[in-house]
Amino acid sequence: MLEVHDLSVAYGVIEALKGISFAVEEGEIVSLIGANGAGKSTTLRTISGLLRAKGGRVAYKGKEIGKLPPYKIVELGVTQVPEGRRVFTRMSVLENLEMGAYTCRERGGVKAGLKRVFARFPRLAERKNQLAGTLSGGEQQMLAMGRALMSRPEILLLDEPSMGLAPLLVKEVFSIIKEINADGTTILLVEQNAHMALSISGRAYVLQTGEIILSGSASELMQHPEVKKAYLGD
């Protein structure tokens, strides 16, 4: 479904990604794990069209998307939930969700989308007229995910969904990610909480200073000595 081949990205003279390659099959949850600064967010931002690659290619369903603007990539079915949530703080919950539905062309599509999102996130329904900036961190994460789901993505790119959340809320958010996947949305997950990421993923890749150093099934990587030592605290 998604193929990244020999992808290189630089910020000036600093190489952020050094020719990485990986793939995501339809229906999977695939994680990219690694320390801060490994290139995880850069990878997602490049797939989304927010950054331009220096070399390599990104293909979605066999079609190269590396030179498309971000809104075109969303229209194809690839949507990102950004790191730090990035909700529109001075707009209501409802207005934030409506912003996520800008690709919707069907009559009644926005209304149907809101119904689906409110069924998935009842707390957002309760707070639909509240300003997004007054929500808790967990509620803002749910709003960012709900806003992304309004575009009916086929693949959802999640960037650090657990960041800044209390452990109980992290469990809730990851449970919701599993439900979204079970409903048919493919997930590419970037996450520093390697234990949580691997616990819900089928496969994973380990990024280190812009290179993929390990890959395999999530269960294999959970038992890998390097992963246990560096990311699982064992």
Per residue in 193-207, pLDDT tens? 898 999 999 999 999
Position with higher pLDDT, 112 vs 189: 189
Residues of the chain above pLDDT 90, percent: 70
- Integer angstrom CA distances of residue 172 from 7, 79, 156, 230: 33, 21, 18, 25
Domains of the chain: 2-86+153-231 (3.40.50.300)
* Alpha-carbon torsion angle 163, 226, 30, 218, nearest 10: -110
Q: How far apart are CA 50 and CA 42, in angstroms?
A: 9
Per residue in 200-229, pLDDT tens? 999 999 999 999 999 999 999 999 988 888
pLDDT number for residue 233: 64
State mean pLDDT over 165-179.
88
pTM over 0.95: no
Q: Is 145 exposed, middle or buried (0-12, 13-18, 19+ CB in 10 A)?
A: buried
State mean pLDDT over 130-138.
91
β-partners of residue 17 are 9
Per residue in 52-93, pLDDT tens? 999 999 999 999 999 999 999 999 999 999 887 899 989 999
DSSP codes of every residue in 52-78? --SEEEEEETTEE-TTS-HHHHHHHTE
**Residue 103 pLDDT more than 90?**
no
